[in-house]
Structures are given as C-alpha cells and as structure tokens.
Amino acid sequence: MAVRANPNLIDELEHYGAHDASKCYQCGNCSAVCTHSVEPYVFPRKSMHYLQMGLERPLRSSLDPWLCYYCGECSEQCPRGAEPGETMMGLRRWLIAQYDFTGISRFLYRSGVNALLAVLLLALLTGLGFLAFGFLAGGGSLAVYDGAAAFLPAHYVHIFDWTMGITLALLLGINSVRMWHFTMHGEHEIPVPLSVYLRRVMLLPVHFFTQKKFKECKNQRPWALHLMLMLSYTTMLILIMFFLKFMQAGPQMNWYAHTFGYLASIGLVTTVTLAVSGRLKKDETYHRYSHESDWIFLALLLYVSITGILQHILHRAGLPMAANLTYVAHLMGVVPMLVLEVPFGKWSHLAYRPLAIYLARVRKDALAIQTRTIKTQSATTLGAPAPASPAV
C-alpha cells in the first residue's frame, strides 16, 4: 500500500519558519558534516526529502529534528542554500504543534498576530484577576507589599503558582506521551522491551541538566549560553515555587535566598540580551532567521526578568505601592509566558529534547536486540541440517 503524501506540507512548514527546503537536491552533504548525525539517526537530509515529498507520517514519527541543536554547520556548507538547520528548526516547531492535542500550539505558531493577541489577552486577564484578588481577598491595600497584610500575600500566590504549575506540567505530560506514541509506535515500529526503557531512564535527568549533546556542536558558545539560561531559570523557578515567602519578606534581606536570586537574574538578563542582539545582528548562521515565536518568547522573558528585578528594587527602596503595581505587571508577563510557552510553545523543548535523546537511545538498543535476534534465528535455521546428518 502506498503511503499517503500531503503535497501542501512544504507550504505549511513555511508558517513554522522552514522556507528553503525545496531548494535541496539531496546530496547528503549536511548529513555527513553534522556531528550529531550518527547511525541510526542520519539527518537532516532525510527530513528535507520527507518534507519535499510531503510524507507527514514518517516526519511526525521522526526523532531527528530533536537531535539537532542548530549550530548552523549544515546550512553554511549547503551547496544550495536550502538551510537544513533552519528547516530542522521549523520542523521542531511543527512537531510541537503535532504533539499538542489541544491545537493551541498550531494556532499560535501559524500566525504571529494570533500569538501576540493570546499573550495580550492572558496578560489582561492576569492583571485584572490579581488586582481583583488583591482588593477583594488579599491585603486590600496597595500600600503593603510584604507580610500577612500584603496586597498579594505570599501564601496565596504560592497556591496559585502550584495550581498553575501542576496544570501546565499535566498538559506538557500529555503532549510528551503523544510524542512517545508517535515516535515509538509510528513509522517503522519495533518491539521495545520494558527493561530497555528502564535501563536508560537516567538519560532523562542527565540530558535535562547538562545538555551535553549541545556541547558536541562545533561551536560551543551557544551551549554555554543556553545552559546558563536554563540554570538561571531553574534556580528562579525553585526559589519561587519553594521559597517565595523568603523572597517576598522584607525589607531586610534574606541572603540565603537572594544571593541565588541575584545570580539567576544576572544570568537571565545577560543571556536574553545576548540572544536578542545575536538575532538582530544575524552574524551567526543559527541567528540568521527568526520566527515570530522566537521574538515573542524573548520579549516575554526579558519583560519578566526586568519587572521582577524592578519590583524587588522598589520594595527594598521603600515604595510598596509601586512595588505592588510592578508585581502585578510582572505576573502579567509570567502567566502568559508560562501558559503559552511551556505546553504549547518553544519552552516545551525542556521536555521534548531530553525525551528525544532518551527515546532515541532506547530505540537504538531495541534495534540492536532485534538484529541480534534475527541473527540467532538465521543461525539456528542454517544450523538445522547439522543434526539432521548424525550418521557421519
């Protein structure tokens, strides 16, 4: 039976930022220069071909795009300007939309206007919600920032944070399960023993925290910056989720918490500024093309970092009302950023990347087992005549 092809796929991918895949003439140069392209995962040439042919199913079940870190080497050496690196980036966006069961991701990625409106709507709802909460259920007075009578008391915000956190984790979890299903039970499905899944499970935390695959790229600077961004953000997340009351208390400083807070803030602002200036300057191949979603993500991250720092300064400067208003403004960035980016946008790669590395390894092990089994079987079959002639 023939595979169904979607001739519009390559046009569809234009919305996700892959503009030049049609120029590819299948020379395979990219697959050979990529340091991550190792048997049995040889890419990106094959993905370019699937895209040109409109082979949606093989593409959806491919882990290849997640094994690429977009160092740009393939695009630089591409004889046709087909931008394999950018195509893999576009494919990752498309895959995020494929994994997402709600369809929200597709809605956001296909149009920058959609994404922007969604951000603004969520920001507005968040702002109104927190103001209403502050006046009705919180401290009631904008003039109090910390303590039990605070406009937004820490323990209430804490409950909100955890509720939102669990909801988002659940959504991302469902999408991750879909990713597992597509990739392990899609095209070329092979039997995978549970023991293999268990044996490799440590790969998940290792690759989440070290991102050491990224380091294998020829240019190591992006890895260092990305790791710094990830660690800064994770630090901030831990501080907020577990130590919010120390952060909010004041005006005296809790140095145990705030030292980490300051380091994380410096890390966030530095990396985001470098990312923005890199994308503006376009000196590096991997910064040459920016999708609308990249800009929205960076803008949100920068906005959240700056308002976060500002409310902290205002609070310590003895301006509780200004601090409270900035806090609401800060939350107006945090909520859309997390709600839109974690399960439906760029940030979902925090789950998909380590998962892809893990699944790729599991699949490779399973393939090896399968090959061994076939060899043993054929050896037995070939060996069969031997006992049949015992007369000698």
For other proteins, which is the closer residue by CB, 51 or 300? Answer: 51
Spatial contact of 108 and 340, defined as CB atoms under 8 Å apart: yes
Spatial contact of 29 and 79, defined as CB atoms under 8 Å apart: yes
Q: Is 26 among the residues that bind other proteins (CB under 8 A)?
A: yes
Q: How would you write 348-375 as a 3-class SS string? A: HHHHHHHHHHHHHHHHHHHHHHHHHHHH
Taking the C-alpha atoms of residue 233 and residue 224, their distance in angstroms, rounded to an integer, is 14
Binds other proteins by CB under 8 A, chosen from 3, 5, 27, 177: 27
Structure tokens at 219: 């240019």
Residue 45: CB minimum distance to other proteins, A: 6
Q: Is 367 among the residues that bind other proteins (CB under 8 A)?
A: no
Binds other proteins by CB under 8 A, chosen from 3, 38, 177, 190: 38
Q: Is 29 among the residues that bind other proteins (CB under 8 A)?
A: yes
Taking the C-alpha atoms of residue 128 and residue 142, their distance in angstroms, rounded to an integer, is 14
Residue 46: CB minimum distance to other proteins, A: 5
Shortest CA distance to 51 belongs to which of 21, 90, 14, 17? 21
For other proteins, which is the closer residue by CB, 27 or 253? Answer: 27
Q: Is the dihedral of CA 173, 177, 180, 183 positive or negative?
A: negative
Q: Is 28 among the residues that bind other proteins (CB under 8 A)?
A: yes
Q: Is 39 among the residues that bind other proteins (CB under 8 A)?
A: yes
Binds other proteins by CB under 8 A, chosen from 33, 164, 266, 299: 33
Where does this chain touch other proteins (CB under 8 A) — which range of 39-47, 163-171, 181-189, 380-388?
39-47
Shortest CA distance to 33 belongs to which of 223, 211, 285, 217? 217
Site residues for other proteins, window 66-105 (CB under 8 A)?
77, 79-81
Q: Is 25 among the residues that bind other proteins (CB under 8 A)?
A: yes
Q: Is 46 among the residues that bind other proteins (CB under 8 A)?
A: yes
175: number of Cβ within 10 Å: 22
Name the site residues for other proteins (rule: CB under 8 A). Answer: 25-29, 31-33, 37-39, 42, 45-46, 77, 79-81
